[in-house]
A and B are shown apart, each in its own frame.
Chain A
Amino acid sequence: MVETFQRENNLAASDLDFHQLVDVEAGWIDRRIFWNTDIYQLELERIFARCWCFVGHESQFIEPGDFLTTYIGQDAVIVAKDRKGEVNVFLNSCTHRGNRVCFAETGTARQFTCNFHGWAFGLDGGLVSIHEEEHYSGCANFDKSKLGLHRARTESYKGLIFATFDPKAPSLNEYLGDYRYYLDVLLDNDPGGTEFLEGNVKSRLRSNWKFAAENFVGDAYHAGWTHASAAAAIFGRGVKVNPEKSFQASVNGHGTEFGLDLIGNAMALGEPEVVDYLKENEARFAERLGKLRAKMVGSMSSANVFPNLAYLPGLNTWRTWLPKGAHEIELNTWVLVNRDAPKSLKEAYRRGISRTFSPTGMFESDDGENWEHCTHSNAGVVTRRQKLHYGLGLDSAIDHEEFPGKIHRVQLNDANQRAFYKRWADLMSASDWSSLDNN
């Protein structure tokens, strides 16, 4: 591998006290974290080039050569299955002049050949051949074995494939930690495992990525107001949260807010078959998850895996918030289903999610509008000086006999958002993984 340059040190931003910008003890957040481009550049280095980022589901890679293209932060990557059956993640940028080497978003390929000078890379990112190689016969420092595409570490958890560019990052299992208990609600409620439905939806929002992430990590509060119109159209009434039997749980900045109502989210899909499936299978889910967790499979809930993978149990939309600058994201969404679920159920999910959580959907339309204007109001210098209130539920921490992680009572709470920003500040302040407390 070619010597890679040390990460840039973005001095202007790295001098900032990030734990002061996000005061999670008192519940105030400085708006500059949503606007300043130097902070964003440091996020690319200290969050996205450092954390485990979601890149795909194993069901998207059946045959050798199956690939997709995506991003880790703003680094374009290819995710490809090689002939040994391994899924590899490597930069989508030629080692010769840096041109993109794959322009398709998905498909099957034998290799990835750069359009510029014909340098061709294999399914593991290695340089296989180049156009008219004889020109390099006298070139002392031309060594094909050292000119492969820069690879990321790749690990998977129950079907989800993650990658990191940081050799010092902890293992994926350590990184997810006890949050795996909550991931299993969707990833492991059925012996056959899960798959993504074919295809996905990508859209652009003029929002800072953190507004989307914090919304899914813990903002149950917005549902009743923001989505009042969608709820009225689908249920004929508003969204109500049960304060007694709902919680927020967070681990390492990952988090979920949830009720124990089994079908609350699934109802929003407007597909009765999905609700019936959950009710009929609750006892089966409980065999794998226990009785309490089985009630979370389709409940009123949302979640975000730090930094930018989010999902909604019951609706089963999974999505990444890919940053495209400080003020824009590309939202990529997929639908996760149990592999052994009936075909008609998968079809209900496919069609239901386009009516609800997609850019044309009845719920998502309102979210984008909010996040965009939460972001762009900060163009105003005086506006930017006004801190934002994140103080809901400051005194709501509890111990729970079954739930792992930091637990707060009542899902209407800013607790998970504060935990998300604490993790953010820890990462932004730390020079490397060794100085981070991973729990």
Chain B
Amino acid sequence: MVTAPANPKNNAPRQASLEVFHLIQQFLYREARLLDEQRYDDWFQLMDEEFTYWVPVPQARYRRDKKGTYERDRMAHFDDSLAELKLRASRWKQRTAWSEDPPTRNIHYISNIEVEPSEGENDWLVRSVAISLRNRNEDEEDWLGGRRIDLIRQTPEGLRLVRREVFIAQTVFLSKNFNTFI
């Protein structure tokens, strides 16, 4: 099993309190629900202005290979700034987005949440597992699972997502498209 990169800062002394853990957990659940409800503008409100979103395309390589399953410079499903994510979402909102009408029924399932300290005083490195289930039209069903590593910041306005990396397991993307975020 290829694992996502380890947190280089996990020797830091700070630990997440139960309260912080609870806040972050609820933040992730709410964020997932906003995606299910396709409330993209509200979802974007949870992002820091500098938000980056990376979902690399994994490759099945032999263990002895010098290159890994996930590499930064390879083709990615997403390698976006906040503005670029907003551009993608703006298509879904067009009246002429034929394939979004009737809408896809989305369920984002979030689990395996671990909260670790990060470099910044108000930052937390949050690991989770996300599974996206989409149903469309009569009988179309698509699943996508990934391990996520988020950088989440505590701000006076509440928690904000600063960075998200999603390490999905499908090398061949077993769907015709992906019309949500994970």
Contacts and interface: CB of A to CB of B under 8 A. Distances in A.
Contact of A229 (B60, B80, B96): B96
Contacts of B173: 201-204, 359
A360 B78 contact: yes
B77 A360 contact: yes
Interface string B69-90: 0010111111110001001101
Contacts of B91: 229-230, 232-233, 362
A203 B175 contact: yes
A103 interface: yes
Interface in B76-118: 76-80, 84, 87-88, 90-92, 94-100
A327 interface: no
A72 to B, nearest CB: 17
B65 interface: yes
Interface string B23-50: 0000000000000000000000000000
B9 interface: no
Q: How large is the interface on B (under 10, 10 to 19, 20 to 34, 35 or more residues)?
A: 35 or more
A354 B60 contact: no
B151 to A, nearest CB: 20
Contacts of B66: 108
B177 interface: yes
A334 B74 CA distance: 10
B172 to A, nearest CB: 4
Contacts of B122: none
B75 A198 contact: yes
Contacts of A351: 76, 79-80, 84
Given A103-B60, A233-B91, A351-B80, A204 B176 contact: yes
A226 interface: yes
Nearest to B172: A202
Contact of A330 (B90, B97, B172): B172
A369 B97 CA distance: 11
A362 B100 CA distance: 12
A265 to B, nearest CB: 17
A360 B56 CA distance: 12
A109 B62 contact: yes
B98 A226 contact: yes
Nearest to A236: B90
B177 A369 contact: yes
A270 B85 CA distance: 13
Interface in A189-243: 197-207, 226, 228-230, 232-234
A365 interface: yes
B48 to A, nearest CB: 20
A32 to B, nearest CB: 23
A371 B121 CA distance: 51
A105 B99 CA distance: 32
Contacts of B80: 351, 354-355
Contacts of A205: 176
B22 interface: no
Contacts of B92: 229
A106 interface: yes
Nearest to B96: A228
Interface in B122-177: 171-177
A364 interface: yes
Nearest to B62: A104
B152 to A, nearest CB: 23
A416 to B, nearest CB: 24
Given A107-B62, A204-B175, A362 B88 contact: yes
Given A197-B75, A233-B91, A351-B80, A202 B171 contact: yes
Contacts of B97: 229, 366
A359 B177 contact: yes
20 contacts: A104-B62, A105-B59, A108-B66, A199-B74, A201-B57, A201-B173, A207-B176, A228-B94, A232-B94, A233-B91, A330-B172, A350-B73, A354-B75, A359-B178, A360-B78, A360-B178, A362-B87, A365-B177, A366-B97, A368-B176
Interface of B: 55, 57, 59-62, 65-67, 71, 73-80, 84, 87-88, 90-92, 94-100, 171-179
